Amino acid sequence: MACGFSRLTALLALCSISGSLAQLSGSVGPTSSLSSKQGTICNVLNYGGSVGSSDIGPAIGKAFSDCVTKATNGATLYVPPGNYNMQTWQTLNHGTKWAFQLDGVITRTSTTGGNMIVIQNANDFEFFSSTGKGAIQGNGYQCRNAGPRLIRVVTSNNWSLHDIIMVDSPEFHLVIQDGSNGEVYNTVIRGGNLGGSDGIDVWGTNYWIHDIEVTNRDECVTVKSPANHIQVEQIWCNQSGGSAIGSLGANTTIQNVLYRNVYTNGGNQIFMIKSNGGSGTVQNVNLENFIARNTAYGLDIDQYWSSQSTAPGNGVQLKDITFSNWDGFITDGARRAPIQVLCADGAPCTDININNVNLWAANNQATNKCRSAYGTGACLKSGSGGSYSQVTKTISKPPAFTTPATMSGDLSDGFPTNSPIPIPTIPPSFFPGTQPLKALAGK
């Protein structure tokens, strides 16, 4: 994708959001065009690799060290179409004005932990498939929670990853660690139906993540601490655990976050902010235009999250968080609340605003729950103040509730954990009634 289009689109996104403040702080993505990175093509087949290779890892590393890092006017590390096994993980450290073009399929064959591909300390970087068929197959069913993550981008600036498919990682699929000004889009992730299979975890500054489909039973697209200026939109959590902020611990610092146009089909929650103890602050968060069907939980703030050990501190302070324009239903409203705002007694939530949120339950009965939470909507108390015990409020079907839209590729179940998961194609849409914000590769 040409640099001019990428950065112009990001800037337009800053100015064109209706109903909320855009959360990007500036342009994202590479600072030079893709064409400028193709002056030198570093084809792995010229550095010891071959189609059908039993380990393409060394060829990737050699193409990077002997070609990419020595190019003076930009370079592209190229994995051509074909199937490749990989058992030697690669950390591609430093490098400016370069790209990783993955048009083949790389399959994990080693059970070594860590990360299959690490992009570290890169600047003006692009990881992409020109056909939209480039993929990494993790075959996680063979070494569940005992093998590598697929891709990790560490302390890198001005970069993008797009039109890539990631399948069945033994652990997390894509981790974005620190850095700034990154963009991830037009990407599909398929994981097994169990925890520890996170889709995208992101922390850092000024990230735009959009047009993503995730299937797994853990995080869909989740913001972690520290994070500032994160914009997430047109996300399809398709039989996924659901999106979240957290889990949060001591010294949390997250601010200026926007999630918009999120469609959730099945899975654990529509959206969750989760912690247990801890300290610090989450503030200025907008969560708008959510559609959901058949999730276990709905709008869920849980600062007593039992799956996390108690962190030091009286609780993370949550403030200035707005939920607006939600439609959807959970499976069992008697068992779990469509709206649950359970805040830390030691750090009550303030300025929590729930506007036009129309959530119901498939079994036609529901209660909402609040604790130490102040704001407007649902069972929140007005104003601000100290802690208070949990309040449970029986509700009727919201008058404005409508049956949520569907997507033609909705899955009815997650993928098995003990057999291969097929490599999918990238869909034409990631949110009902919308087109991707950027054209799909190969289209």
Quick one: which H or E segment has residue 207?
A: strand 200-215
Cα 225 to chain center, whole Å? 14
Instruction: Collect all residues with Cβ–Cβ distance below 8 Å to 153 and sequence separation of at least 6.
Output: 118, 119, 120, 122, 127, 159, 161, 174, 175, 176, 177, 179, 182
- The dihedral region occupied by 219, where left means phi > 0, alpha psi between -120 and 50, and beta the remainder, is beta
List, in sequence order, every beta strand (DSSP E) within 104-218.
105-108, 115-120, 123-128, 135-137, 149-154, 157-162, 165-167, 174-190, 200-215
Q: Quick check: 276 and 246 in contact, CB under 8 A?
A: no
Do 243 and 216 touch, CB atoms closer than 8 A? no
Among 168, 206, 205, 203, residue whose Cα is nearest residue 188:
168
Residues 174/155, Cβ–Cβ less than 8 Å = no
User: Do you find a cis peptide bond into 436, omega within 30 degrees of 0?
Assistant: no
SS3 138: coil
- Which residues, including other chains, have CB under 8 Å from residue 12's CB and lie 6 or more apart? none
Whether the Cβ atoms of residue 150 and residue 177 lie closer than 8 Å to each other: no
Is residue 344 a contact partner of residue 376, using CB atoms and an 8 Å limit? no
Distance between CA 265 and CA 308 in Å, rounded?
25
Q: 374 pairs with which residues across the strands?
A: 381
Cα 280 from Cα 294, distance rounded (Å):
33
Distance CA(32)–CA(35), nearest Å, equals 8
Q: Report whether 421 contacts 192 (CB < 8 A).
A: yes
124 is catalytic: no
Cα dist from 4 to 8, 227, 403, whole Å? 6, 26, 40
**Chain centroid offset of residue 93 CA:** 24
Contact 169, 151 (CB under 8 A): no
**Catalytic residue among 103, 218, 300, 327, which?**
218
Identify which of 144, 153, 152 has the alpha carbon closest to the alpha carbon of residue 111: 144
Instruction: Look at residues 75, 82, 120, 80 and name the one whose alpha carbon lies nearest to residue 98.
Output: 75
Q: Which residues are catalytic?
A: 218
